[in-house]
Amino acid sequence: MFFIAGAVVLAFIVVGIAIPERFGEITVAVRDGIGQNFGWIYVFATTIFLVLSIWLLFSRFGSIRLGPDSSRPEFTTVAWFAMLFTAGMGIGLVFYGVYEPALHMNDPFITASGDPQTTAMQYTLFHWGLHPWAIYIVLGLALGYFCFRKGLPMRPASALYPLIGDRINGWIGNLIDILAVFGTLFGLATSLGLGTQQISYGLNHVFGLPDGQLMQIAIICVITAIAVTSVVAGVDKGIRRLAVTNMWMAAALLLVMFLLGPKLFMISMMSTGLGEYLQNIVQMSLSFFSPQGDPDAKAFSEGWSIFYWGWWISWSPFVGMFLARISYGRTVREFISASLFAPLGVSVIWFGVFGGTGMFYDEKTGGAISGVDNEGAATFALIDAFPLPAVVLKAVALLTILVVAIFFITSSDSGSLVVDMLTNGGDPHPVRAQRIFWATMEGVITIVLLVIGGSAALTALQAAAVSTGLPFTIVLLFIAAGLMKALSAERTAGTVPVVRSGSKDPSERGDRIPVGRNEEAESSPEETPDPDERK
């Protein structure tokens, strides 16, 4: 896995460097072709995942724990939610929080609705609300169940054990895991490159520092160094602390923006936007516009909704595996309710404050927010629109830069941990040397692409990563089927049976699961070495 995944990554880097423009044309054409011809698969699959998640939440399987019946959560609820949120889409909210609603408000499809502001907020919540997290829940719940309760390695292929058995250790399982590595690593590298450009623009905006390649390389090196330190320290000592810090800093930025912005307008956008979203969620979930239909509606659907579904699905191995890794001891009901509804609440507040303020000042300034050259500059354009002293505006911009930077660090270290697990046989505690390698590789990939290929190479890489969403959609559908088959056969009384390679009948196994943290393990700490100290 390690060498094959590394070879695939290097091959794409070489192509991206050698012919960045042509590489971009090919990958963007593939992505657009998938959206036009297979977008209906995304539409129906994401709807199925959401319906399945809500059904499991209220089903009799909700009390099943991700681990033995005696297991208890490894992290506090606050720390767990902080890691869940920052890994899932925290950086996306900062990056698109101002820009997307303002841009939607001026889209022909949205303006035809008669109330562009409310409709813009409605579709923004549609893209960032329940559907993305339902995608993550399917994979995260399956991996947490099969790894912590059934003793299988933490790799996407393990979730297919009820369907294909020991063949998860053959070429089928390896192909699925390589696809997961590809989507995770390139998705993170793309986001790191886009975030670097946003931070570089912000530093130029606040301090007048040169916004060029040297500045971007320096930013990537600093972020990568901190991410390496965090991922080496482990989940509890490194990633958890950064995630909690990041959550409080994001809350501070949210409060500042709320105090500075048009409060009644923001509250109105939260309320009416959420109401329209929930009222029309079934119609939006099943909408797929044919080529003979409204061209504006078709362009909006393919350019935004279907693109987002492919993007979220390509990220599902990263976010799903990380959610599973930090959710040992949680019940199915806890896992789904926290992963589904808590992020929706945060998204409503965040987009209501940032997106609502962005739409308000976009109209007031004649399109200064939606008309920026790149998405990352929209937040700083909004800050400049406030009628406040320059020193206050610079302080708010500096806080924004810090939040963006820490969000990218937490995304990088959690993503590195996932790639480590995938290329280390599904071990939830990969060795340190491999953690350092993949965390460093993300920074190297981003630097090489930015310096040689520029934004064209990053766009191509993003399109290539999103294109993996189509084959992985099929994989996720099979994973959902495997999870339902396993849950239906669940026997909650007595010792939890372990399913391992070579065992034809799960009932023949009666071992306790030797992973995670539980009461039995904590009763004899001297016999349980720290996983981070493995050679």
- From CA 482, how far away is CA 500, in angstroms rounded? 15
Token code pair at residue 218: 């320096």
Q: What are 19-66's pLDDT values in tens digits?
A: 777 777 787 788 788 878 888 899 999 999 999 999 999 998 999 999
Question: Is the pLDDT assigned to residue 523 strictly greater than 50?
Answer: no
Tell me what pLDDT residue 494 has.
Answer: 38
Contact 109, 300 (CB under 8 A): yes
Q: Which of 355, 360, 350 is nearest to 387 (CA)?
A: 360
Helical residues (DSSP H) of 234-294, grouped into ranges: 240-260, 263-279, 281-285
Crossing angle of the two packed helices 469-488 and 20-58, in degrees rounded to 10: 20
The residue among 354 and 230 whose pLDDT is bigger is 354
Using the Cα atoms of residue 423, residue 227, residue 10 and residue 312 in order, give the sign of their dihedral. Answer: positive
Q: Which of 101, 112, 11, 24 is nearest to 459 (CA)?
A: 24
- DSSP states along 471-492: HHHHHHHHHHHHHHHHHHT---
Range with the poorest average pLDDT among 327-336, 411-420, 448-457:
448-457
Tell me what pLDDT residue 491 has.
Answer: 56
The torsion angles phi and psi of 486, rounded to 5 degrees, stand at -70, -40
The residue among 72 and 504 whose pLDDT is bigger is 72
Question: Is the pLDDT assigned to residue 431 strictly greater than 80?
Answer: no
Tell me what pLDDT residue 506 has.
Answer: 36
What's the whole-number average pLDDT of the chain?
80
Residue 153 burial (CB count, 10 A): 23
Token code pair at residue 395: 């302080």
- From CA 119, how far away is CA 518, in angstroms rounded? 48
Check residue 294 and report its DSSP letter.
Answer: -
Burial class (CB in 10 A: 0-12, 13-18, 19+), 371: middle
Question: Is the pLDDT assigned to residue 421 strictly greater than 80?
Answer: no
Token code pair at residue 4: 């094959």
CATH of domain 2-523: 1.20.1740
- DSSP states along 78-115: HHHHHHHHIIIIIHHHHHHTTHHHHHHHTSHHHHTTS-
Tell me what pLDDT residue 204 has.
Answer: 85
pTM: 0.84
Q: Which of 9, 7, 19, 30 is nearest to 453 (CA)?
A: 19
Tell me what pLDDT residue 235 has.
Answer: 62
The torsion angle over the Cα atoms of residues 314, 486, 85 and 58, rounded to 10 degrees, is 120
Query: What is the H or E stretch that residue 182 is in?
Result: helix 171-207
The domain spans of the chain are 2-523
Sequence-separated contacts (24+) of 223-227 with Cβ below 8 Å: 223/192, 223/196, 223/405, 223/408, 223/409, 223/412, 223/443, 224/412, 224/439, 224/440, 224/442, 224/443, 226/409, 227/409, 227/412, 227/413, 227/416, 227/439, 227/442, 227/443
Tell me what pLDDT residue 258 has.
Answer: 94
Tell me what pLDDT residue 529 has.
Answer: 44
Crossing angle of the two packed helices 130-144 and 20-58, in degrees rounded to 10: 80
Burial class (CB in 10 A: 0-12, 13-18, 19+), 229: middle
Question: Is the pLDDT assigned to residue 125 strictly greater than 50?
Answer: yes
